Amino acid sequence: MKAHAGNRQAILLLDAHVCHFSKGTLAACRDYDIWPVIIPARMTSLLQPLDTHVFARFKMFLRTRLHQLMLTGANEDLTSEQVIDALMHAIKSVLQRNSWESAFTKNGVGLAFEVRAHLL
C-alpha cells in the first residue's frame, strides 16, 4: 500500500465482530503499520462507508444487469459465466469508476470532518 499511498497512514475500518479483535488480526495490523478502527456494534449501517455509500449502488447495478440478461436470453437459468460477467461489470462500473472519498468524509473519517446531519 505504501507504493500507492505515499506517506499517508493506512486505516482499516472493521465492524465489532469478535474475529477482528483476535491477536492474529491485531498483530497483522501492527506488522503492516495499519491502524485498526472498530466501528461499534449496530453502527456499521450508519458509519461504515461500504454500507452507507457503496453496497446499495453495487447491488442495484448487479440486479439490473442480471435482469437484462434474463430478459434477453432464452427461458433458461443463467450460466455461471453470465453471473461472473455481470459481477465483473458491476465491479468495474461501480467500484472502480467512482471516487469514494466523500463516503469516508461524510461518515466522519477523512481529511475534512463533515458528518451527515442525521448522524449527529
Q: CA-CA distance, 35 to 62, in Å (whole number)?
A: 32
Percentage of the chain exceeding pLDDT 90: 35
Q: CA-CA distance, 52 to 41, in Å (whole number)?
A: 15
Q: CA-CA distance, 109 to 115, in Å (whole number)?
A: 9
Q: In this predicted structure, what is the pLDDT of residue 84?
A: 95
Kindly give the parts of the chain with pLDDT less than 70: 1, 110, 112-113, 119-120
Q: In this predicted structure, what is the pLDDT of residue 107?
A: 79
pTM as predicted: 0.64
Q: CA-CA distance, 113 to 19, in Å (whole number)?
A: 29
Alpha helices for 13-111 (secondary structure H): 23-31, 44-47, 49, 55-72, 80-90, 101-106
Which residues, in sequence order, are bridge partners of residue 34? Answer: 10
Q: CA-CA distance, 66 to 72, in Å (whole number)?
A: 10
Answer whether 13's CB lies under 8 Å from 48's CB.
yes
